[in-house]
Structure 1
Amino acid sequence: MTTFKDRSDVFAELGTKLSIAEIIESLIDGPVPIRISAYDGSSCGPADSEFALEITNPRGINYIATAPGDLGMARAYIAGDMSVIGVHPANPYPILKVMKGLKFRRPSALMLVTIARSLGWEALKPVAPPPQETLPRWRRIALEGLLHSKTRDAEAIHHHYDVSNTFYEYVLGPSMTYTCAVYEDENWTLEQAQENKYRLIFDKLNLKAGDRLLDIGCGWGGMVRYAAARGVKVIGATLSKEQAEWAQAKIAEQGLADLAEVRHSDYRDVVESGFDAVSSIGLTEHIGVANYPAYFRFIQSKLRDGGLFLNHCITRADNLRTTRAGDFIDRYVFPDGELIGSGRIVSEIQNVGLEVLHAENLRPHYALTLAEWCKNLETHWDECVAEAGEATAKVWGLYMAGSELGFQRNDVQLHHVLGVKLAADQQWEVPLRPWWKA
C-alpha cells in the first residue's frame, strides 16, 4: 500500500509540483483526520468531516511548512491565515478532540525542495510570527538573562499575566482565580468550586484565626482574601504588577487591610519568616525543575517548626518525559514553564528535610475548570476581543481548550502535596488522621 510519505518522496524525485493539499498530506504522518482546504482550491481529508480548516493565503502555508506541528498551525490560526470551521474560536475543543491523533513530520531535504518549487521560493522565506509569540528560549537568554533568573521570571510572568485585569475578569469570573477549582459535584458552578478549593486548602493547612500565612505566587489574592476573612494574617507575593494592584484594591474594598497584603514582589524577596503555613497555588510550574531544591528550602525557611505547607501544581502523568512544555505553550502561554510528575515533587520535598503528609490528584477537576473558562470566553467574546485583540483571545481559546483535552487524556495532572516542617523531636503537631473534609 502506498503511504503519503511514499507518495511525497516519489513526487519529489519526479520534480512534480504539489497542490497545497498534497503539501499538507506530505507533512502529516498518517491519514488526515479532518477536512483541510486551501486558497488554491485543493483539499484533503474526509469530505464529510464535521469540522474543517481553511488555509486562506500563502503566509498560512508558510507557517505550517516551516514549522510543521502545533507551533506552525497555531501561527497560521492566530495570525488569521487559517480559518477554523464548525467551532467558536473561544472554544475549539471539539475540533482539537478530533485532531488529537494528528502527527506531523519534518520533510526531507528533497521534499523541501519540492515544496519550495511548488509554492515558489519566495513563499518559504522566513516570515515574522504573530506578535503574541515570544522569542525562542535560546534568544530569551541573551535578552532576559539565564533561565529562572529574577529578571527572566518577571518577564515570563508579565507575558502571561499582565494581559489585562478586565480580560481576566471576563474569563475567570468573579473569583478571579486562575487555578484549578475543586468540585464536589459536576453540576456545581465555577464559583462554588473555586470557593471550595480555597476552603480545602485552608482546612488542609489547619489554619485558624490569629495564624500567619504566606501565599507565594498569589495571583489576584483569592487565597489571601479567603484566609484573611477568617482572621488569618496573610502576606501574598506576585510578580505581576497588575495582579498586585487589583488584589490590593480588592483587599481594601473588603475591609481586610489590617490582615492582608499582596506585594508586587519575587517570592524570594520575602524577608519575614516563622509562618504557621505556606501555600503555593500554581507557582511551581514557573519555578523550573532544577530549582526545586532551592524552592522547597525557601518554603522550609519560612515555616515555624510544626508549620504546614501545601503545593498545588500541574504535573505530568509520569516522571520520565521532558520537563519542557511544547512549542506552542512555551512561545504563547507559559514562557520557560516546566512540568514533571508528582513523584519528583515529593522526592524533592523529602530531600530538603520536609515531611510529606498527603498527596492528592485532582486531574478531572481541572478539565471541568477549563471548560467553564472556555464558556466564559465564548460568552464574553466580543468584550474580550475589544479588550485584548482577536489574536490574543484566539490564543486563550486554543490554549484552554487544548489544556482541557490534555487533562482528560491524562497528559497532565493536578496535584496537591501537603507537608510539614518537623521540629527537632520529629513529632507531628497535627491529628493522626486527615482533619479536613475532602
Structure 2
Amino acid sequence: MSLGSTPKNGATNKMSISDAMDRLVRGGLPVRFTAYDGSSAGPPDARIGLHLKNERGLAYLMTAPGDLGMARAYVSGDLDLSGVDPADPYDAMTLLKDHTKFRMPTPSEGIAIARSLGLSHLRPPAPPPQEHLPRWRRAVEGLRHSMSRDAEVISHHYDVSNRFYEMVLGPSMAYTCALYETPDATLEEAQFAKFDLVARKLNLQPGQTLLDVGCGWGSMVRHAAREYGVKALGVTLSLEQAQWAKEAIDREGLGDLAEVRHMDYRDVVEGDFDAISSIGLLEHIGVRNYPSYFSHLRDRLKPGGRLLNHCITRAHNKHTETGAFIDRYVFPDGELIGSGTIISAAQDQGLEVQHSENLRLHYAATLRDWNKNLVDNWDECVKEVGEGTARVWGLYIAGSRVGFERDEIELHQVLATRNDDHGVSGFPMRPDWKA
C-alpha cells in the first residue's frame, strides 16, 4: 500500500510521525524515537532516545530537513535527547552519524507525508534566537568578509559571555586546539604546551616584538610576555574579549610588555615585528582573502621574521560550504580549506614555508575536555546564557570532536619566514624548537 492511500473499506491510512521518520531513514532508526502523538519507532531497548515534544518541533523538522531542522527543534527544547548528557551528546552524535542516513522522499511520498502530518506544519516557525541570519540575509550587513560584516559575525559568536567561556574553556581561556604531550595531560597543561610550541617555533627571544592577530582573550600575548620577555601586541574584533584580556594583563602585572586592542587586524599599521602568530583566525578570513591576508602580515614582519598560522583545515582542498548548523549557530561566514591551499597562498605572497604540522587528534582531545567542563558547569552555564545556547555548545563541541576523529576536519600549524632581499631567512638548517 502506498503512503496515504485509501484501503478498500474507505478509511484513510493516516501515517504517524514516527512512521514518517522511520520511512525516511535508510536502514531504520538506530535510536528509540517517540513523538507527542503517541507513536514510536526504532529499537525499544535502544540506550539513546529522541522525543519530539510538540507541533512546533514537527514544523521545524518538516520545513528544514536535515541537520538544521533537527538543530532548531533541539535548541528550542522541542526535541529531547535521552541516554546522554545534553552537555556532552558525543555518544548520540557518533551513533547518529554512523547509522542515520536520511533519504529524500519522492514527490508523491512528500505530498503524502505532508498531508498525513498536516499541511499547517509546512509553515516555518520563527527560528530559535541563537540562530544567525542565513547567508543571503547577511548580505545587507556588507559583503562577505568585509570589515563591518566580519565584526558583526565575530560578535555573534564570541560576545556570548566571558563567564560562560571561563567555565567551558578553563583558566587558560584558550579557544583553540591544545597540545597533549602525554595522554594524561590536563587541558591546562595542554594549552600551555600549545602556546609554548608556538613561541618556540617562532624562536621568541627577550626583547623581541610579537603581533598576535585574532588574539581572543590574550592568552598567547600573555604567554609570550610572561614566559619569554617579549613585547606583544594582540588584536581582536570582540570587544568582550579585549576587555577581559586587558584585565588579565593588569592582574598579571604584564602591562609593560603586553597589550590587546579591540580592532581589525587589517588596521594594524605598526611593522618590523620579529614574529606574528595567528591562532584560530584564518577560519574567519575567507579563502578569496588569503592573498591579502598573507600580504598584510608579511608586510608587518621584518626581514628574517617568522609567521605561524594555526587553524582548522579540511582533509582536502576542494571548495566546500560549511554545514547549515555550523554556519547559522556557531561560525557564521566561516570557511575551511585544506592546508595545501594555505601553503600555496603564503608562498604566493613571498613567504617561505618552513614547516607544516597536523594536530588533528589533539583537537579531538581538546573538544573532549571542553565537553567535560560543560558537563561539570552545566547548571551555571544554563543560568548564564540560557539552556538553548548551552545546548548549542554541547552539540557543536561533541559534533566537532567526531569530525576531528573521523578526519573530516584537521588542524594545521604552518610556519613561514619573510626572507631578506638575498633570500636569507634566519631559519636553521633543521627545526630548532624541539631542543
**Structure 1 partner of 2:17:** 20
Quote the residue 2:9 is aligned against.
Answer: none
Among 46, 56, 73, the residue aligned to 1:49: 46
CA drift of 1:294 comes to 0.7
- In structure 2, the residue matched to 1:424 is 421
Checking the alignment, whether the CA contact within 8 Å between 1:68 and 1:104 is kept in structure 2 is no
Residue 177 (structure 1) aligned to one of 174, 179, 183: 174
Contact between 2:306 and 2:415, CA under 8 Å: does it hold in 1?
A: yes
> What amino acid is the match of 2:303?
D
Write the distance in 1 (CA, Å) between the matches of 2:103 and 2:239.
Answer: 41
Match of residue 318, structure 1, among 316, 319, 334: 316
- Separation of aligned partners in 1, 2:52 and 2:349: 52
Match of 1:11 in 2: 3
Runs of 4+ in 1 over 6 A off after TM superposition: none
- Structure 2: which amino acid aligns with 1:248? K
> Which whole-Å deviations, capped at 9, do the CAs of 1:138-188 have from their partners, x for residues lacking one?
01102x111000011001100100000000000000000000000111100
What is the letter of the counterpart of residue 40 of structure 2? S
Instruction: Measure how far apart 1:78 and its partner are.
Output: 0.6
Q: Confirm or deny: 8 A CA contact 1:13 1:110 kept in the other structure.
A: no
Kindly provide the amino acid, as one letter, of the partner of residue 31 in structure 2.
I
Q: Match of 1:11, SS?
A: coil
Superposed displacement of residue 17, structure 1:
2.3
Name the structure 1 match of 2:291: 293
The answer for the alignment partner of 2:334 in structure 1 is 337
Q: Does 1:153 align with 2:150?
A: yes
Distance 1:53 1:186 in 2: 34
SS of corresponding position for 1:99: helix
* Residues 68 and 105, structure 1, Cα contact 8 Å, conserved in 2: no
Residue 199, structure 1, aligned to residue 220, structure 2: no
Is residue 382 of structure 2 the alignment partner of residue 385 of structure 1?
Answer: yes
The match for 1:4 is none
What is the CA deviation profile of residues 211-253 of structure 1, one whole-angstrom value per residue up to 9, with x for unaligned ones? 0100000000000000111211111000000000000011111
CA contact (8 A) 2:221 2:258 kept: yes
| TM-score (normalizing by structure 1) | 0.95
Match of 1:163? 160
- Verify: 1:103 aligned to 2:95, yes or no: no
Per-residue CA shift, 1:292-321, capped at 9, x if unaligned? 111111111110111000000000011125
| Distance (whole Å) between structure 1 residues aligned to residue 101 and residue 298 of structure 2 | 44
Structure 1: gaps spanning 5 or more residues:
1-6
Deviation at 1:259?
A: 1.0
Moved more, 16-25 or 175-184: 16-25
**What is the aligned partner in structure 1 of residue 217 from structure 2?**
220
CA contact (8 A) 1:362 1:415 kept: yes
After superposition, the C-alpha distances for 1:381-437 in whole angstroms (9 at most, x for unaligned) are 010000000000000000000001110011100000000011110122122111012
Which residue number in structure 2 is paired with residue 139 of structure 1? 137
Aligned-partner SS, 1:100: helix
Contact 2:62–2:121, Cα closer than 8 Å, also in 1: no
In 1, Cα distance between equivalents of 2:159 and 2:55: 33
Deviations 1:108-127 (A, max 9, x none): 33233222221222222111
* TM superposition shift of 1:201: 0.2
Q: Distance in 1 between matches of 2:328 and 2:416?
A: 33
Name the aligned partner's letter for residue 237 of structure 1: V
Helix, strand or coil at the partner of 1:53: strand
Residues in 2 aligned to 1:202 and 1:431: alpha-carbon distance in whole angstroms: 16
Q: C-alpha separation between the residues in 2 aligned to 1:27 and 1:69?
A: 11
Q: Which amino acid aligns with 1:255?
A: G
Partner of 1:115: 113
Long gaps (5+) in structure 2: 7-11
| Secondary structure of 1:208's aligned partner | coil
Aligned residues: 428
